[in-house]
């Protein structure tokens, strides 16, 4: 119970009675706080205990002490998906084992707050462009993942607060927005804002529905699930003022890609972006969610919209009970959380986005922030081709009678919750497909087309509108409900394209409606990846190439033999709106979500293990007890120790993503992980994806830094997945798989470090990127800057994140990776100092470089976790003590 030093606990009358709440108005100086800080303030008032949350924390938040004062934030629920959820459950199962082995009650490791897990990341696009594709893909999904799904059902019965959304329901973030999100929660008669910590970075999508939520690593999610707060410095809030309205022909996707470019240029890492101003009312709820979904691509922690009339209208549209809608309105207005278009909250920075100035856009070919005008894809292709040299360089052109050429679109996928959550762009895609079909257009034969919505509702309203048949006629038939191509579960390319890539080095492209286009993410054989709105995905499938200016060149030839321009196919805004009004109503949502947790016959037929501890199968290639607690003692650890004589395992450049460190896509048979699995008797066809194998630490160990497009500068000219051992004195040079080289160093008792550039760890919030770093024996990562979630994950795994001083880098200091490193100043101390001295001695010349780094343990909680060797050993200590007290 809160000690409520501000006497803020009050009663609020609703249409169904009254509830208690903590009134922000009881704290002076809160009127002009940003919406995000108001939600955080309520959280502090409600959890004020004089220890984790104090009156000083409340005062610091109101005073705006951003970036310097630490607070403990308690999310109201945890949100997971299967590929991060399985590792979370393996950790919790291992924690239960460890408690039991020490004589405690394993059930002491249990959920303290509600958690929902959606199975949406495992279905792949194996079958497409055929009516039975969804059923066949689901069958393959269960064949590959039956063991994992049984494990999830065990977790649901073992953890009292966990609920699992079975496969086939849709994508977690779209389900969250359309059904799970409360906006305002009531528990035990107390009302408070719905807040979420999610294991996927795109948890922010629900920010569009005025729910403060952000992505955390699986390690932090475990802690939150077990009742630990999320420790953070008070984040700055960047106000984005929206003015004007989008012009006809401009989509929400175009807006999102433009804002992503602006925010990356502005620099909002560690900040919360909050939208305000007169343009907010003109921004539909679906467009808000499309924007909020891309918050990780901005670099921000969250991208939040306040509550207004559009929020209430969307709750009604999606079938939420009327009493819930009234509660949200009454609570928001009483708390000062209702949007005032004329208001200007106390932001740390403000930027204006004029919606009238947004133009049709794509992003690519490698990063979401690399926005292109629609007509610039040819230029992007020409600039990228020199990075793929070969003797018979193809000059582009997409395709000829002999087959695809450089720039050919190998994958055109309407995929991801980002855009399939938005009826306007989905209906526009369907209408464009109808217009193309009537003119006799078809996609080029080398294009793999697919439709994978994030919600079953999408197919329902497309069918009502009579547009599914037109999409299917162009190959955009339903392939399943899940992340699929967006997460890298794109399946094999068409044989013609695979052969061209393998035999003559074809530089192929993908165009998807997703949120990520990092190297190697969509498909290992696709070099260039572009993000676009769903209607543009259809257009590029028809063109068959990115070597085209769709604003000025025909995308195909009609049945009459005449050229067809994009403008000939593009639907008008009034037509899109009319279809949406006629086809979308609350009954669609209530019908779909009434049986959300039931699952299909496949799910219900799975026999789930029971009991408080999980029975590990030593022969399993999917689930192995992780080793992270094997050396944990369950007692307070000794002081810190210096890093001495360390070698560089990876020397990396800028924008290294978690996809580079921990691939998600299919496991190549020739990779270290593929060779390991086939050696275990797994058939090549059954290798599945790295994402699906995250419950097996042996696979992930071999997948560390194994993205083929990762450049390790100590192994120039080689694909990712390789490292070098220079021997004890630097005289040798042995190159091998990363895990093999790491083991050689560890056998000699040598510490390991990784050196990176700017934005180290961008991308998905997968905890395995940090876990594999720790498994490889890496003591520290030194980088120019870190993405928020990955830095936190490294801390959670006991890996020390160190940041070069401003203006310094490996390049400026002349570091080559042929040095041995000492990081001094920690030995025997209870805490890691804020700055540490690094000495790098070249192994052959003996030259020495000395420099200082900042220890990025940003909060006392992070320092506590690091002192224990990571979050899991700390949790084990607490769980064992709680069990002993019980």
Domain match, 805 and 742 both: yes
Identify whether residues 564 and 688 lie together within a single domain: no
**What is the distance of C-alpha 2 from the center of its chain?**
33
**Band (323; pLDDT cuts 50, 70, 90):** very high
Condensed to tens digits (0 to 9), the pLDDT of residues 802-849 reads 999 999 999 999 999 999 999 999 998 888 999 999 999 999 999 999
Q: Of all helices (H) and strands (E), which one includes residue 841? A: strand 835-842
**Domain assignment of residue 808, yes or no:** yes
Domain boundary residue, one of 703, 718, 734: 703
Rg from Cα positions in the chain? 26
The pLDDT value given to residue 884: 63
Residue 409 phi, psi (nearest 5)? -80, 110
CATH at 418: 3.30.499.10
Q: 3-state DSSP call for residue 661?
A: helix
Specify the pLDDT at position 665: 82
**Residue 833 and residue 819 share a domain:** yes
Q: Clarify whether residues 589 and 649 are in a common domain.
A: no
pLDDT given at position 723: 97
Q: In the predicted model, is pLDDT for residue 476 greater than 60?
A: yes
* 750-776 mean pLDDT: 92
- Looking at the structure, do residues 443 and 528 belong to the same domain, yes or no? yes
Q: What are phi and psi of 10, to 5 degrees?
A: -135, 180
Q: Is the pLDDT of residue 496 over 70?
A: yes
Estimate the crossing angle of helix 285-293 against helix 252-266, to 10 degrees: 40
pLDDT score recorded for residue 389: 75
Q: In the structure, what pLDDT confidence band is assigned to residue 765 with cuts at 50, 70 and 90?
A: low
Quickly state the pLDDT bin for 520 (edges 50, 70, 90): confident
Nearest to 525 by CA among 554, 550, 503, 547: 503
Three-class secondary structure of residue 454 per DSSP = coil
pLDDT value of position 191: 98
Nearest Cα to 219, choosing from 799, 803, 653, 844? Answer: 799
More confident residue, 855 or 521: 855
- 17: buried, middle or exposed (CB in 10 Å: 19+, 13-18, 0-12)? exposed
Pair 824, 850 in one domain: yes
Indicate the pLDDT class of residue 767, thresholds 50, 70 and 90: confident
Q: Please indicate, yes or no, if residue 766 is contained in any of the structural domains.
A: yes
End-to-end CA distance of the chain, in Å? 21
- Given a contact cutoff of 8 angstroms between Cβ atoms, the answer to whether 513 and 495 are in contact is no
What DSSP letter does each residue of 281-340 carry, written as one string?
Answer: TTS-HHHHHHHHHTHHHHT-SEEE--B-HHHHHHHHHTT--HHHHHHHHHHHHHHT-B--
Other C-beta atoms closer than 10 Å to the C-beta of 280 total 19
Residue 530 phi/psi, 5-degree rounding, is -125, 140
| Average pLDDT over every residue of 694-720 | 94
556 and 484 inside one domain: yes
Average pLDDT over residues 500-504: 93
DSSP single-letter state for residue 625: -
- Give the domain extent around 688: 664-703
Confidence check: pLDDT of 635 > 70: no
Q: Quote the number of domains for the chain.
A: 3
Asked whether residue 724 falls in the same domain as residue 579, the answer is no
CATH number of the domain where residue 714 is located:
3.20.19.10
DSSP string of 729-790? TS---EEEEHHHHHHHHHHTT--EEEE--TTBTBS---THHHHHHHHTTEEEEEES-B-HHH
Residue 509 Cα distances to 129, 277, 371, 497, 544, angstroms: 19, 39, 16, 11, 10
118 forms beta bridges with 81, 165
Q: What is the pLDDT of residue 398?
A: 64
Within a domain: 765: yes
Give the residue with greater pLDDT, 529 vs 764.
529
Which of 760, 759, 685, 671 lies closest to 720, judged by CA? 671
213 vs 228: CA distance, rounded Å: 16
Domain match, 653 and 675 both = no
CA torsion, ordered 60, 64, 67, 71, to nearest 10 deg: 40
pLDDT of 401 reads 57
Q: What pLDDT shows up at residue 395? A: 54
Residues 668 and 738 in one domain: no
- Residues 28-81 pLDDT 10s: 999 999 999 999 999 999 999 999 999 999 999 999 999 999 999 999 999 999
Average pLDDT, whole number, for the chain?
93
Q: Are 668 and 501 in contact (CB under 8 A)?
A: no
Provide the pairing of β-strand 399-400 with 403-404.
antiparallel
Q: How many helices (H) and strands (E) does the chain have?
A: 30, 34
**E-assigned strands of 603-758?**
643-651, 722-725, 734-737, 752-755
Residue 188 lies inside a defined structural domain of this protein: no
Q: Looking at residue 521, what is its pLDDT?
A: 85
Q: Are residues 740 and 799 in the same domain?
A: yes
Q: Which residues pair with 238 in a beta bridge?
A: 273, 349
User: Of the candidates 187, 184, 178, 186, which has an alpha carbon nearest to the alpha carbon of residue 206?
Assistant: 178
Position 233 in a domain: no
Domain-embedded: residue 30: no
Clarify whether residues 449 and 552 are in a common domain: yes
Residue 756 in any domain: the answer is: yes
Identify whether 90 is part of a domain: no
């Amino acid at each position: 119970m809160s000690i409520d030093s501000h006497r803020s606990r009050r009663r609020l009358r609703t249409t169904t009675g009254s509830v208690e709440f903590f009134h922000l108005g009881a704290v002076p100086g809160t009127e002009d706080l940003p919406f995000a800080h108001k939600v955080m303030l309520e959280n502090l008032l409600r959890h004020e205990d004089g220890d984790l949350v104090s009156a000083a924390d409340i005062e610091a938040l109101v005073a705006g002490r951003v970036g310097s004062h630490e607070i403990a934030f308690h999310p109201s629920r945890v949100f997971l998906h299967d590929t991060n959820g399985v590792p979370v459950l393996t950790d919790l199962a291992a924690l239960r084992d460890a408690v039991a082995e020490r004589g405690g009650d394993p059930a002491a490791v249990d959920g303290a707050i509600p958690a929902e897990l959606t199975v949406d990341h495992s279905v792949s696009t194996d079958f497409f462009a055929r009516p039975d594709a969804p059923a066949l893909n689901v069958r393959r999904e269960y064949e590959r993942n039956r063991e994992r799904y049984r494990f999830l059902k065990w977790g649901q019965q073992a953890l009292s607060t966990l609920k699992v959304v079975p496969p086939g329901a849709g994508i977690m973030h779209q389900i969250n927005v359309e059904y799970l999100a409360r906006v305002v929660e009531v528990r035990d008669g107390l009302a408070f804002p719905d807040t979420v910590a999610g294991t996927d970075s795109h948890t922010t999508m629900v920010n569009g529905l005025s729910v403060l939520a952000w992505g955390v690593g699986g390690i932090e999610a475990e802690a939150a699930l077990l009742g630990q707060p999320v420790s953070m410095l008070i984040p700055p809030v960047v106000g984005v003022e929206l003015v004007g309205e989008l012009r006809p022909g401009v989509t929400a996707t175009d807006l999102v890609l433009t804002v992503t470019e602006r925010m990356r240029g502005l620099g909002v890492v560690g900040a919360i972006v909050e939208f305000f101003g007169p343009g907010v009312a003109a921004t539909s709820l679906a467009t808000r969610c499309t924007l909020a979904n891309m918050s990780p691509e901005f670099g921000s922690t969250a991208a939040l919209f306040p509550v207004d009339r559009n929020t209430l209208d969307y709750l009604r549209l999606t079938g939420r009970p009327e009493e819930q809608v009234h509660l949200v309105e009454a609570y928001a207005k009483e708390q000062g959380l209702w949007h005032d278009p004329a208001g200007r909250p106390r932001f740390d920075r403000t930027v204006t986005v004029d919606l009238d100035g947004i133009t049709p856009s794509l992003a690519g070919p490698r990063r979401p922030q690399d926005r292109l005008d629609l007509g610039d894809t040819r230029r992007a292709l020409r600039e990228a081709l020199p990075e793929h040299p070969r003797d018979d360089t193809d000059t582009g052109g997409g395709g000829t009678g002999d087959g695809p050429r450089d720039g050919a679109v190998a994958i055109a996928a309407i995929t991801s919750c980002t855009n399939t959550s938005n009826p306007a762009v989905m209906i526009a895609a369907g209408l464009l497909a109808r217009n193309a079909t009537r003119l006799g257009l078809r996609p080029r034969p080398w294009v793999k087309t697919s439709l994978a919505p994030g919600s079953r509702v999408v197919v329902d309203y497309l069918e009502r509108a009579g547009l599914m048949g037109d999409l299917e006629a162009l190959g955009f038939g339903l392939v399943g409900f899940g992340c699929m191509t967006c997460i890298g579960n794109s399946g094999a390319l068409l044989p013609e394209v695979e052969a061209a890539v393998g035999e003559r080095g074809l530089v192929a492209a993908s165009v998807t409606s997703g949120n990520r286009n990092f190297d190697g993410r969509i498909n290992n054989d696709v070099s260039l990846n572009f993000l676009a709105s769903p209607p543009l995905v259809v257009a590029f499938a028809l063109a068959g190439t990115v070597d085209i200016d769709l604003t000025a060149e025909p995308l195909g030839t009609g049945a009459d033999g005449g050229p067809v321009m994009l403008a000939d196919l593009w639907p008008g805004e009034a037509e899109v709106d009319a279809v949406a009004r006629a086809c979308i109503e609350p009954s669609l949502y209530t019908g779909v979500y009434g049986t959300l947790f039931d699952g299909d016959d496949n799910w219900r037929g799975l026999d789930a293990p029971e009991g408080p501890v999980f029975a590990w199968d030593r022969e399993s290639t999917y689930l192995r007890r992780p080793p992270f607690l094997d050396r944990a003692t369950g007692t307070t650890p000794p002081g810190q120790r210096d890093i001495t004589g360390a070698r560089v395992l990876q020397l990396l450049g800028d924008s290294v993503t978690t996809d580079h460190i921990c691939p998600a896509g299919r496991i190549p048979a020739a990779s270290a992980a593929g060779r390991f699995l086939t050696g275990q008797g797994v058939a090549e066809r059954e290798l599945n994806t790295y994402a699906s194998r995250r419950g097996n630490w042996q696979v992930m160990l071999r997948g560390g830094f194994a993205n083929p497009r990762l450049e390790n500068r100590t192994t120039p000219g080689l694909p990712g997945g390789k490292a070098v051992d220079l021997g004890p004195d630097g005289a040798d040079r042995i190159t091998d798989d990363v895990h093999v080289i790491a083991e050689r160093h560890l056998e000699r008792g040598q510490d390991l470090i990784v050196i990176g550039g700017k934005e180290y760890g961008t991308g998905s919030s997968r905890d395995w990127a940090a876990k594999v770093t720790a498994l490889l024996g890496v003591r520290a990562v030194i980088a120019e800057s870190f993405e928020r979630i990955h830095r936190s994950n490294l801390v959670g795994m006991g890996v020390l994140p160190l940041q070069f001083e401003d203006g310094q880098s490996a390049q400026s200091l002349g570091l080559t990776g042929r040095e041995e490193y000492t990081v001094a100043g920690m030995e025997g101390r209870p805490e890691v100092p804020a700055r540490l001295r690094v000495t790098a001695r070249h192994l052959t010349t003996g030259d020495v470089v000395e420099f200082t780094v900042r220890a990025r343990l940003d909060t006392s909680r992070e320092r506590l976790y690091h002192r224990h060797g990571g979050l899991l050993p700390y949790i084990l200590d607490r769980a064992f003590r709680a069990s002993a007290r019980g």
